[in-house]
Structure 1
Amino acid sequence: MTAPVATVDVRTTPVIAVEEAGIRFRRNRRSHRSFKDLFAGRNRRRRPDEFWALRHVSFTVQPGESIGVVGRNGQGKSTLLKLVAQVMLPDEGRVHVGAGVAPLIEITGGFVGDLTVRDNVFLTAGLHGMSKAEIQAAFDDIIAFAEIGDFVDTPYKHLSSGMKVRIAFAVIARLEEPIILVDEVLAVGDRAFREKCYRRIDEMLAGGRTLFFVSHNDKDLRRFCTRGLYLDKGALVLDGTIDEALDRYAADSAGA
């Protein structure tokens, strides 16, 4: 008799698993570890100019969850998103991401100032895995969404900050990655365009995407998120509903 083939239930398999993750910085720049540090272990003597931006952070995320990351400035919210995006590696612990990521965090950072908007669209979308044919098919829609059709052949560095965000969001939002990371990148956009972007995020969530969303706007957090992670001093203080996380944050802020 043939043994049954084991199957994986994607509904219960975390798409993100963060286990005792920590990341250490120097006060003025990222800590650069020497070969001696690599073999010294996690309990090596701490340098006086170092601090832990995050430490002992653990949680899992199921496919399709929408999570708001809550806390004051400087408490590790953006650092956590960068760990999930895997543009940073933890100094201790483990961060496992089991699906592709569309990072709407510092989204203008990968664009090249001297290249035209057209060239940047092909470059950035290509770096995120889109084929040339896919980019060509989506190009007109990307430009139309960004509303910068008159500037397609303009060097990127000559665009306003708002226009840079428009084209960057338009490119990243076309990616089919299952995980979306959003870190207040739309704050410089005008209200009408921001609402247009939010409708696009709504569409992606309706399609089953997983969302990590960082914002100081309670209304936006409640609009998109059902679960909340409240960070304070680099520690995960509360993992609950978005309302619980926001209420705890408000209470702590009032008592500070």
Structure 2
Amino acid sequence: MEPHISTQNAWVEFPIFDAKSRSLKKAFLGKAGGTIGRNASNVVVIEALRDITLSLKMGDRVGLVGHNGAGKSTLLRLLSGIYEPTRGSATVTGRVAPVFDLGVGMDPEISGFENIIIRGLFLGQTRKQMMAKVDEIADFTELGEYLSMPLRTYSTGMRVRLAMGVVTSIDPEILLLDEGIGAVDAEFMKKARTRLQDLVARSGILVFASHSNEFLAQLCDTAMWIDHGTVRMAGEIEDVVRAYEGEDAARHVREVIDEHDRWDTPGA
């Protein structure tokens, strides 16, 4: 069965039981985006996603644009199964590789080598498959002797390197990617981007949240503008970026797409 993603009028809401707590409201809004409302039980909630309907099939490459807190990361978590819709439905068929929340499935008390196996099992791989990939992943991370040490001794950047090495080693049917994973130096991120591009090429469906229009144009065919938890617009990347950021940004996207097409054309 080919990979497929479908949501129908999906909402994601987070209840706030102490409606008088301004700081709590602010914290939830900053974490999940969306707006404040009330659900059917009259409980005050953060409406992180509202009425999301989409259908993605094999070969689709969708970029998510929108301001911080708009709901892009929440949508990725909905599609990964981390969040369940509080209203509506979300159905995902296929092996999912979430390249965000990179620490999920890792144990701070065991070594980097052991975490490579554990994280791979968490992503649906077998122990045999991960054992065959350990050396290649170790080389990519450039962590050297630290791989024999407990994960709790790692800096945030080192943990990102390890987790990214594992998640980009598999062949996903559905790739959910949030470029805002940061916490690594620029030189390693350049190396990681090349590896991410290879991962995208191996995936069946891509949903990619990024603030880099250039990277979106290189990896995606279409885009969605997420605004306050809703899909404000969906369509060709150039058109969506024009609506979201203006003509100059759209022109740059067109230049990147044209350059990318030239590289992909035989004899160009």
Q: TM-score range by the shorter chain?
A: 0.7 to 0.9
Q: Hey, what's the Cα distance between the residues in 2 that align with 1:240 and 1:188?
A: 32
Tell me if the contact between 2:171 and 2:203 (Cα under 8 Å) persists in the aligned partners: no
Equivalent position to 2:228, from 211, 224, 233: 233
Gaps of 5+ in 1: 1-7, 31-41, 252-256
C-alpha displacement at 1:117, in angstroms?
A: 0.6
Q: Hey, what's the Cα distance between the residues in 2 that align with 1:110 and 1:129?
A: 11
Q: Hey, what's the Cα distance between the residues in 1 that align with 2:112 and 2:9?
A: 41
- What secondary structure does 1:106 align onto? coil
Residues 1:47 and 2:43 are matched in the alignment: yes
The one-letter code sitting in structure 2 at the alignment partner of 1:17 is S
C-alpha displacement at 1:23, in angstroms?
A: 0.6
Equivalent position to 1:86, from 57, 81, 89: 81
Tell me if the contact between 2:172 and 2:203 (Cα under 8 Å) persists in the aligned partners: no
- What secondary structure does 1:239 align onto? strand
1:140 and 1:190, CA in 2 relative to 1: closer, same or farther beyond 3 A?
same
Farther-moved stretch of structure 1 (135-144 vs 185-194): 185-194
- What secondary structure does 1:152 align onto? helix
Residues 1:74 and 2:69 are matched in the alignment: yes
Give the number of the structure whose residues are more often helix, by fraction: 2
2:107 matched residue in structure 1: 112
**TM-score normalised over the length of structure 2:** 0.79
Q: Which has the higher contact order (CA 8 A, sep 6+)?
A: 1
Gaps of 5+ in 2: 17-23, 29-37, 247-268
Q: For each residue in 1:77-111, what CA deviation from the matched residue of structure 2 results, as whole angstroms up to 9, or x when unmatched? A: 10100011011100011111111111101112332
1:168 matched residue in structure 2: 163
The one-letter code sitting in structure 2 at the alignment partner of 1:98 is T
Q: For each residue in 1:118-161, what CA deviation from the matched residue of structure 2 results, as whole angstroms up to 9, or x when unmatched? A: 11111111122222211111110111111112211111111121
- Give identity over the alignment, percent: 29
Tell me if the contact between 1:104 and 1:185 (Cα under 8 Å) persists in the aligned partners: no
Measured on the aligned residues, the alpha-carbon RMSD in Å equals 2.3
Q: For each residue in 1:22-46, what CA deviation from the matched residue of structure 2 results, as whole angstroms up to 9, or x when unmatched? A: 010135488xxxxxxxxxxx96243
Tell me if the contact between 1:81 and 1:212 (Cα under 8 Å) persists in the aligned partners: yes
C-alpha displacement at 1:209, in angstroms?
A: 2.9
Tell me if the contact between 1:228 and 1:245 (Cα under 8 Å) persists in the aligned partners: yes
**TM-score normalised over the length of structure 1:** 0.83
Q: How does 1:1-256 map to 2 (within 5 A)?
A: 15-27=4-16, 28=24, 44-48=40-44, 50-251=45-246
- What secondary structure does 2:125 align onto? coil
Q: How many residues align?
A: 230
1:39 matched residue in structure 2: none
Q: Hey, what's the Cα distance between the residues in 1 that align with 2:206 and 2:191?
A: 17
Tell me if the contact between 1:18 and 1:59 (Cα under 8 Å) persists in the aligned partners: yes
Q: Hey, what's the Cα distance between the residues in 2 that align with 1:20 and 1:155?
A: 44
